Structure 1
Amino acid sequence: MYRARSRAVIIAAGVLLLALTGASCDDETSPVRLGNAEIGTVGEIVEAPGTVTARTAATLTAPAAGTLRDLRVEPGQRVREGDVLAVIDAPELTRRRDAAQEALDKSPSGGGVSAGGTAEFTAVRKRTDRQAADAFEQARAAAGEIADPQVRKALTDQVDAAEASYETASAASAAALRSVQRGVASLGRAMGALSAAQRLQAKQAYELADAAVDALTLRAPVAGVVQLGGPAQAGGGSLAGLLPPASGGGAGASGSSGVDAAVPEGGYVAPGTPVVTVVDTARLGLVAEVDETDVLLIKEGVAADVELDAAPGAVYPATVTAIDLLPTTSARGGVSYKVRLELAAGNYPDSGEDAPTPRPGMSAVTRLKVRQASGAVTVPASAVVSTDGKDAVWTVRDGRFAAVPVRLGVQGEDTVQIVSGVRAGERVVVAGADQVTAGGEAP
């Protein structure tokens, strides 16, 4: 199984360096070399592949079948939240709104229902209820054709609220009629309640149809940079999976040869066709895939250094913001977990110059600083050997070699922390341990 961990040592200023060039055994050609256990600071690094992500990407899709009447942005253009990006022309939705407007204009504005008796009242009320039911059914059908789930839900919620409001008004007119039948209210008052229900039904039908038409105007849900069409559906440059979606996607648009747009102005769009994507690059992030053997070492707030394939030599600081609970299967066949980090501006350590701003989708190597021990007893990593399946260090005690079991703490690439078993200042074998025997005389 692939292990993403690598270890690097950090020696704090003012602490003793490890004596890697200590005494050798017998002569200069001996493979056995000695050093000392020293007090120092050691850091443990978990290394993982990662990908740069934008804060979010919102792909605006055609809410209904029609044509792209007006495309108001260019690729790479910066837009603000709420800016109009494109307008779709959907004749069917427009016809429904116009018909609803006409019905609203003809609806009674006050006591417009003639007092023709309870029979006429009942007939008018039933007709109004049918008209309301038809209007709500058409509004739900129009909402169902909208591919964007957020817009669709908003319209559906509006239909539900309008239907509940009308049911209340209809029930009030029915109660008024019962009062008339019991002789406790006049028919005129009941007709007024029915007239109000009629007016409300017509007004709601228009507002629902108008909301569906308004959804044809695509506005930027976030501030960011425009990319025409949606994320690539294939190939290495896709944003898919790298960005938390701010709106629903849909089937990709193949575009027209020689036209710098997924859908040119005047082109036909089916419901769900991606028209414009807005990428919010104000705050960049990174998603690292950490092996299951290392993920328990990582906590929120852990610092990391990030290097990009696209910017050799540059280092970008990052901070862990979240660790996914559910695993993914890595390309190498093992189990890994996505660790999410916030990425800061980078620089070139050698020159101090600012590093270029990354782009979403760029590959990176993430070095997470998972643990650090200060004032610790440390030995070179090469001094730790396995004896009978347990960690041990060959030491020199009373002039002779002895294999001492040890418990390890923070493990760097070059140096490791010894929690127990070896004391600071002890001489240890740092090379050629396979040439040493227990009880053998040490120089």
Structure 2
Amino acid sequence: MYRSRAVVVAAGVLVLLPMTAASCDDAPDPVRLGNAEVGTVDEIVEAPGTVTARTAATLTAPASGTLRELHVEPGQRVRKGDVLAVIDSPELSRRRDAAAEAVEQAPSGGTVGTGGTAEFAAVRARTDRQAADAFEQARTAAAQITDPQVKKTLLHQVDAAERNYETASAASATALRSVQRGVASLSRAMGALSAAQRLQAEQAYELADAAVDALTLRAPVAGVVQLGGPPQAGGSSLAGLLGSGQAPSGSSGAVSGVDAAVPEGGWITAGTPVVTVVDTGRLGLSAEVDETDVLLVGEGVEAEVELDAAPGAGYPATVRAVDLLPTTSARGGVSYRVRLELGEGSFADSGEAAPVPRPGMSAVIRLKVRQAAGAVTVPASAVVRADGRDTVWTVRDGRYTAVPVRLGVQGEDTVQIVSGVSAGDRVVVAGADQVGAGEEVP
């Protein structure tokens, strides 16, 4: 598990007094004394992390076709809603044309046939089955789309179309029952059924037209363009609606050494990543904090960040959220993801502005989880365990005395003493194993 505590600086100055000198390399450490001081102690939790972008959206081809237009270049900044690419799908165009023709041929009223109520019932049942199959296919296909905005729009349209058709179908069923009771004419019922058939045809055209519109890829967020995208778990397809195939599982638009996996005018399969838009307007950090420290981390905790890519530079950060569910490392350790806002960095030696990080860069994050100002402090080396308790060896009346203490904020080099030792007390800061209770201090 990755866990350590950074150096903590106390405001007080310790005066170290050597008591003995080592005569050879293997001699025990000399006893050294210092004073308990009043100072400030910061407790630091150190964790590995990664620079993150606010969001990244990869736009994939919703159907097989030709990449007819590519409107952007790598590194180009775009605004939300800008057209990035246009895909030409002949199959989808044919389906929309067929749907438009069906609308023109749909009955607008009158009779459906001459077979009476039996034919009416058969036509209505067939129309209901066709509508149910169309809505189910459209919903299944829309659920496979990776672009959340396109998926939401199409699913909403399918739901609305299904509700409208159910209303029309129910009206035709009511009309049929009126005919069977002898309180209405068959022509009136036929008119209601014709209206349902025409509504089904119009909705089929609207769904096909929406699918054509989905072939125009627009930026879902403002950001910087990168052609292609990360590997996909599966293709994005409008299978039932468009009748097109899916991209192979794991296909990717990212090809080493080239700008785009698919050139303008090239053939593209459903689900192939075309363009990725990365929102770098607000950079953040994702840190993995060990379970032994995570309870000390909360919203608003400040941190200092160092990047492997920018030696000597420091970046401020602030915790904005701590995940409730843990992550488990390959070695079995449990940690929790902490999300931070990343500020502008600077170089400590010159004060110059540090370079702007890129998403994915490795970082070391030092979280200032607790601070004690105006506290009694001693070096961490002065605290030893004796009889199961934290103990500090002090000098009282010229003799060594073991004093149990209660610790507060703990740093790596300095700790806060809540009780047991007062400011100004002389304490053993090294070589505590060389002294005994009551021994006279040289």
Unaligned runs of 5+ in 1: 12-16, 234-248
Would the aligned equivalents of 1:4 and 1:291 in 2 still touch at CA under 8 Å?
no
Q: SS at 1:325's partner residue?
A: strand
2:244 corresponding residue in structure 1: none
Give a deviation string over 1:401-436, Cα, whole Å, max 9, x none: 011111111012321101121122211112222222
Would the aligned equivalents of 2:43 and 2:370 in 1 still touch at CA under 8 Å?
yes
How far did 1:54 drift? Answer: 0.3
The farther-off stretch of 303-312 and 224-233 is 224-233
Letter in 2 for 1:357: V
1:19 corresponding residue in structure 2: 14
Q: SS at 1:327's partner residue?
A: strand
2:439 corresponding residue in structure 1: 440
- What CA distance in whole angstroms lies between the structure 1 residues aligned with 2:34 and 2:137? 84
2:75 corresponding residue in structure 1: 76
How far did 1:118 drift? Answer: 4.4
1:329 corresponding residue in structure 2: 328
1:287 corresponding residue in structure 2: 286
2:168 corresponding residue in structure 1: 169
- What CA distance in whole angstroms lies between the structure 2 residues aligned with 1:122 and 1:336? 63
Unaligned runs of 5+ in 2: 24-28, 233-247
How far did 1:329 drift? Answer: 3.4
Q: SS at 1:73's partner residue?
A: coil
1:416 corresponding residue in structure 2: 415
Q: TM-score by structure 1 length?
A: 0.86
- What CA distance in whole angstroms lies between the structure 2 residues aligned with 1:373 and 1:160? 59
Give a deviation string over 1:167-221, Cα, whole Å, max 9, x none: 2211111212222333433445434322321221111111111122222221111
1:2/1:349 CA distance change after superposition, 3 Å: closer
Residue-pair matches, total: 422
Give a deviation string over 1:143-182, Cα, whole Å, max 9, x none: 4664556644643453343223212211111212222333
2:49 corresponding residue in structure 1: 50
2:238 corresponding residue in structure 1: none
Q: SS at 2:84's partner residue?
A: strand
1:5 corresponding residue in structure 2: 5
Give a deviation string over 1:244-288, Cα, whole Å, max 9, x none: xxxxx9733366787521211232322221111110101100011
- What CA distance in whole angstroms lies between the structure 2 residues aligned with 1:259 and 1:31? 65
Q: TM-score by structure 2 length?
A: 0.86
2:240 corresponding residue in structure 1: none
1:433/1:184 CA distance change after superposition, 3 Å: same
The farther-off stretch of 100-109 and 409-418 is 100-109
Letter in 1 for 2:14: A
Would the aligned equivalents of 1:253 and 1:263 in 2 still touch at CA under 8 Å?
no
1:108-187 alignment to 2 at 5 Å? 108-109=107-108, 111-113=109-111, 118=117, 121-122=120-121, 124-136=123-135, 138-140=137-139, 142-143=141-142, 146=145, 148=147, 151-152=150-151, 154-187=153-186
2:351 corresponding residue in structure 1: 352
Would the aligned equivalents of 2:231 and 2:250 in 1 still touch at CA under 8 Å?
no
1:214/1:10 CA distance change after superposition, 3 Å: farther
- What CA distance in whole angstroms lies between the structure 2 residues aligned with 1:137 and 1:378? 70
1:78/1:149 CA distance change after superposition, 3 Å: closer
Q: SS at 2:313's partner residue?
A: coil
% identity of equivalent residues = 78
Letter in 1 for 2:36: A
1:316 corresponding residue in structure 2: 315
How far did 1:75 drift? Answer: 0.4
The farther-off stretch of 130-139 and 92-101 is 130-139
CA RMSD of aligned residues (A): 2.9
1:14 corresponding residue in structure 2: none
1:141/1:342 CA distance change after superposition, 3 Å: closer
1:392 corresponding residue in structure 2: 391
The farther-off stretch of 142-151 and 271-280 is 142-151
How far did 1:94 drift? Answer: 1.8
Q: SS at 2:96's partner residue?
A: helix
- What CA distance in whole angstroms lies between the structure 2 residues aligned with 1:10 and 1:227? 48
Q: SS at 2:325's partner residue?
A: coil
Letter in 2 for 1:9: V
Is residue 366 of structure 2 the alignment partner of residue 367 of structure 1? yes
How far did 1:309 drift? Answer: 1.2
The farther-off stretch of 159-168 and 326-335 is 326-335
1:33 corresponding residue in structure 2: 32
- What CA distance in whole angstroms lies between the structure 1 residues aligned with 2:159 and 2:193? 21
